[in-house]
A and B are shown apart, each in its own frame.
Chain A
Amino acid sequence: MREVAVLGVGMHPWGKFADKSITDLSRTAVEAALKDANVAWPEIEAVSAASSRFSGGKGWGLNGNDIVEEMGSTGIPVYNLSAGCAAGGNAFNIGYTLVASGLYDKVLVFGAEKMPKGMIQTSGVEEETDPEYLRQVSVGMPGPAFWGMLCSQRMAEYGTTEEQLARIAVKAHDNAVHNEYARFRKKFTLEDVLNSNMVSYPLRLYEICPISDGAAAVVLCSAEEARKHTTDPVWVAASTVATYRYDDGIPRGLASVVPPARTHHSEAKLAVSKAFDDASLAPKDVSLVELQDNTVYYELAFPEEWGLCEPGEAESLVEKGETTPVGSLPINPSGGFLSFGEATTAMGVFQVCELAWQLRGEAGERQVPNAKVGLAQTLGLGGNGTATILKR
């Protein structure tokens, strides 16, 4: 496999854009990434795109084809990847593989989303053979209820307090104040968060990410191409994809096995562990993490599940400010899903943009000092997990 560099990144701001189409959002992000890479559209040799369930793509998730038509139909191959909320991470992995394998020298990866109004139903299928559908009709359980159950179990096991949960949301917004692409750029106080409505105990409204529209794009290239543009490229140290294990203790339908040990989010853990192996790096080498914070709970659970801290230690890291951009384990300096809102399939690409800005030292007021290694992770319906490690 060849070395792969991140040559350019670009985003459209996150928010709700009633007057813009998904193609408008996509075009802004793709043009920004091409400009950042100093690459013209006809030079792009292949596109790896996240498939949206909600918008564009001719209703078939052909969002990559849409952007090629928009930018100019040069006849290049297009790969449309579907992996629920992990689709952006999957698209990045395929884009990476296309360059690493030597098939192409310059590849565009992108993800864009225009989300429908209100709370989304997880499954798109209304059949009793679909486990998600069966769960919705027989238990009546939206996504946040899952996070609530995992979080209340953590509270029972480690004594996590509601104030510690709220602190994570406060930190996310402190970071987002400095990110021009974030949807919510207002500071939140501990009281603001603790006074927001309880959604799924113990999680409150401001501790759960809303849904947003957004688009992000990345230009990947070979080492040879990268060196024509810069002497100090941002490298892809690893890009991995995994699916959940049979002995995972989180039911994907109505039931799972009782796991032999604390085995949760195995798809994320497998992807992250393999990424460390592939990159020949260890958790201690990580300068910053962009993880999928659909809820504050994940900022407590994921670091210990991936070996970034000890079990039960995350709460004290939050309290001591160690997860802020200037702490020992910076988590989501971008502001994360909590400040952006989830534009589902675009999120894996958005994370790569933030890692690249951080590693280049271009993150302004939210900059992690001396950032050398960045880890990103997504999790999606169907038990899909992805991880990306960038290094400088």
Chain B
Amino acid sequence: MTTPTTTPVAEGLFAETAAGPRLLGSKCTTCETPYFPKAAICHNPNCNDSKLEDAEFGPHGKLWSYTVQYYPPPPPAKYDEPYKPYAIGLIDLPEGLRVLAQVSTVDPESTVGGADVELVIERLYTSPEGNEVTTFKFRQS
């Protein structure tokens, strides 16, 4: 028996910091444009001096809108069987970033547009080997 491990769904997207969960992105110090995930260069056509530095985003945001996904997504997305509908939202962060993420709820149909939400790192699915694969989600507070 091997001990089950927890693995992030992708490297360098999010982290559990001393202050709590954060999204790992970058920000252009010239024009203040935020990027998630990290960008190598500023994409703002009006910015004449791309200067990107690492930035952490979260945990607070507002749910701009949401949907409930009633059917399983096609590959390469993975989920626990049997499939259970979940909410997906567009979350506006005070840093000027609009992020796509699953909304963490007990009942996805109780999601409310415009609600205050908070970043969490949670299980996305459990692999056939028993490893927990985690992703970033936003929880309705």
A-B interaction: yes
Q: Cβ of A140 < 8 Å from any Cβ of B?
A: yes
- With beta carbons under 8 angstroms apart, the residue of A134, A136, A140, A151 that contacts B102 is A140
Q: Cβ of B20 < 8 Å from any Cβ of A?
A: no
Given the complex, which residues of B lie within 8 Å of A197, measured CB to CB? Answer: 70
- With beta carbons under 8 angstroms apart, the residue of A138, A149, A255 that contacts B67 is A149
Q: How far is the CA of A207 from the CA of B70 in the complex (A)?
A: 14
Q: Cβ of B15 < 8 Å from any Cβ of A?
A: no
B65 adjacent to A156 (CB under 8 Å) = yes
Q: How far is the CA of A256 from the CA of B25 in the complex (A)?
A: 12
**Interface segment out of the listed A87-95, A117-125, A181-189:** A117-125
B113 adjacent to A140 (CB under 8 Å) = no
- With beta carbons under 8 angstroms apart, the residue of B78, B88, B97, B109 that contacts A145 is B88
Given the complex, which residues of A lie within 8 Å of B13, measured CB to CB? Answer: 134, 138, 254
A128 adjacent to B10 (CB under 8 Å) = yes
- Most B CB atoms within 10 A — which of A118, A249, A258? A258
Q: How far is the CA of A200 from the CA of B124 in the complex (A)?
A: 19
Q: Cβ of A198 < 8 Å from any Cβ of B?
A: yes
From known contacts A128-B10, A149-B88, A152-B66, infer whether A137 and B37 are also in contact, taking CB-CB under 8 Å: no
- With beta carbons under 8 angstroms apart, the residue of B35, B43, B69, B79 that contacts A200 is B69
- With beta carbons under 8 angstroms apart, the residue of B10, B44, B88, B99 that contacts A141 is B88
- Beta-carbon nearest neighbor of A151 in chain B: B67
From known contacts A128-B10, A138-B124, A138-B136, infer whether A149 and B66 are also in contact, taking CB-CB under 8 Å: yes
B76 adjacent to A136 (CB under 8 Å) = yes
A200 adjacent to B90 (CB under 8 Å) = no
Q: Cβ of B130 < 8 Å from any Cβ of A?
A: no
From known contacts A138-B124, A141-B88, infer whether A257 and B98 are also in contact, taking CB-CB under 8 Å: yes
8 Å CB interface, B68-127 against A: 68-71, 73-79, 86, 88-90, 92-93, 96-102, 109, 113-114, 124
B3–chain A nearest beta-carbon distance, Å: 24
- Most A CB atoms within 10 A — which of B11, B76, B136? B76
Q: How many residues of A contact B (CB 8 A)?
A: 41
B78 adjacent to A137 (CB under 8 Å) = yes
B74 adjacent to A118 (CB under 8 Å) = yes
Q: Cβ of B50 < 8 Å from any Cβ of A?
A: no
Given the complex, which residues of A lie within 8 Å of B114, measured CB to CB? Answer: 156
A150 adjacent to B44 (CB under 8 Å) = no
From known contacts A139-B135, A199-B70, infer whether A254 and B76 are also in contact, taking CB-CB under 8 Å: no
B69 adjacent to A121 (CB under 8 Å) = no
- Most A CB atoms within 10 A — which of B37, B45, B124? B37
Q: Cβ of A201 < 8 Å from any Cβ of B?
A: yes
B45–chain A nearest beta-carbon distance, Å: 6
Given the complex, which residues of A lie within 8 Å of B44, measured CB to CB? Answer: 246
- With beta carbons under 8 angstroms apart, the residue of B66, B69, B86, B98 that contacts A251 is B98
Q: How far is the CA of A192 from the CA of B114 in the complex (A)?
A: 31
Q: How far is the CA of A156 from the CA of B75 in the complex (A)?
A: 31
Over the window 125-138 of chain B, the binary record of Cβ atoms lying under 8 Å from chain A Cβ atoms (1 yes, 0 no) is 00000000001100
Q: Cβ of A148 < 8 Å from any Cβ of B?
A: yes
Given the complex, which residues of B lie within 8 Å of A136, measured CB to CB? Answer: 73, 75-77
Q: Cβ of A135 < 8 Å from any Cβ of B?
A: yes
From known contacts A145-B69, A200-B70, infer whether A126 and B99 are also in contact, taking CB-CB under 8 Å: no
From known contacts A153-B65, A251-B98, infer whether A138 and B135 are also in contact, taking CB-CB under 8 Å: yes
Over the window 16-50 of chain B, the binary record of Cβ atoms lying under 8 Å from chain A Cβ atoms (1 yes, 0 no) is 00000000010000000111110000011100000
A200 adjacent to B98 (CB under 8 Å) = no
Q: How far is the CA of A251 from the CA of B102 in the complex (A)?
A: 14
Q: How far is the CA of A200 from the CA of B65 in the complex (A)?
A: 13
- With beta carbons under 8 angstroms apart, the residue of A120, A137, A257 that contacts B34 is A257
**Shortest beta-carbon contacts, A-B, top 10:** A148-B67, A153-B65, A140-B77, A201-B68, A255-B36, A119-B74, A140-B73, A142-B73, A149-B65, A255-B99
Interface residues of A, Cβ cutoff 8 Å to B: 118-121, 126, 128, 133-142, 145, 148-153, 156, 197-203, 246, 249, 251, 253-259
Q: Add 17 more A-B contacts to A120-B74, A139-B100 (CB < 8 A).
A: A121-B74, A137-B10, A139-B101, A145-B88, A149-B88, A150-B65, A153-B64, A153-B90, A156-B65, A197-B70, A199-B71, A201-B70, A255-B98, A255-B100, A257-B33, A257-B97, A259-B98
Q: What are 13 sample pairs from A and B whose C-beta atoms fall under 8 A apart?
A: A128-B10, A137-B77, A137-B78, A142-B73, A148-B69, A149-B88, A251-B99, A255-B34, A255-B35, A255-B98, A255-B100, A256-B97, A256-B98
